[in-house]
Amino acid sequence: MPSPIITFKGVFDVMHDKELARSGKHADSYLLAEGLIDGQVVATHKVMPARRPSRLLLWADNEKVEMTADGSDLVTVIAAVADDNGNIKRLNNYEIKFEIEGPRELVADAKSFTNPRPVSWGTAPVLVRATTTPGEIKVRASVVWAGKHTPVSAELTIQSHRPELPLIVSPEELKRLENQSQSAREESASMSGDCKKRIEKLQQELNRLKLKEVERQQSDFE
């Protein structure tokens, strides 16, 4: 049954959460909503604050509908930044890079700023399109900037199934379309490599400027 948004005011205090965290009592910090009918609890929903991001979660937002290998079927795959307990870290500025293998293609590339993709409210989506060949599709997600506390990458397997009805397309036209898709993937991969090199160069320059600023501050302090 549809329900309006229910707001619970004044039930969470971030300072109390910090006190529990510093005491090692992370599990005691949570919000628990209970739905009652005639005084009996019939539904519950528990939410816990997200801690340090440690891993990525990956799932298909397909309402459990199987993917059809008809060359046009699309599935949205969602990557989320989460802590050790699977709580999604909604506020973060990571960028997620998607990779794929199998009879498929990503409807995303560096040119359209969709791969890598910035995280928004904890998640980053990508579209996966099936080819006309059924089989196992593997999608991998990783954080662009690697570091000491970089969240661990994730992998998802999707199965594309043979369509129930035969495809109405000539073998020549199908081959032409597949060649176009392959050329587009190769061009996207090339652009991703060039983009990564430019980003690394900019990061090196930024680190150099930060170092010079630290040196200047030390000089002023002396």
Q: Please write the tens of the pLDDT for every residue from 145-196.
A: 878 889 999 999 999 999 998 888 777 877 776 777 666 666 666 665 666 6
Average pLDDT of the residues in 115-140: 95
Q: Is the pLDDT of residue 214 over 80?
A: no
| Domains of the chain in sequence order | 1-49 (no CATH), 55-169 (2.60.40.10)
**What's the pLDDT at 203?**
65
**What's the pLDDT at 194?**
66
Is residue 131 within 8 Å of residue 104, measured between CB atoms? Answer: yes
Percent of residues, the chain, with pLDDT higher than 70: 86
Average pLDDT of the residues in 82-101: 95
Q: Please write the tens of the pLDDT for every residue from 31-83.
A: 999 999 999 999 999 999 999 999 999 999 999 899 999 989 999 999 999 99
Query: From CA 92, how far away is CA 121, in angstroms rounded?
Result: 8
* Nearest CA among 46, 10, 9 for reference residue 30: 46
pTM of the model: 0.77
**What's the pLDDT at 206?**
72
For residue 136, name the pLDDT band (cuts at 50, 70, 90).
very high
**What's the pLDDT at 146?**
78
Top-confidence residue, 210 or 139: 139
Mean pLDDT of the chain: 87
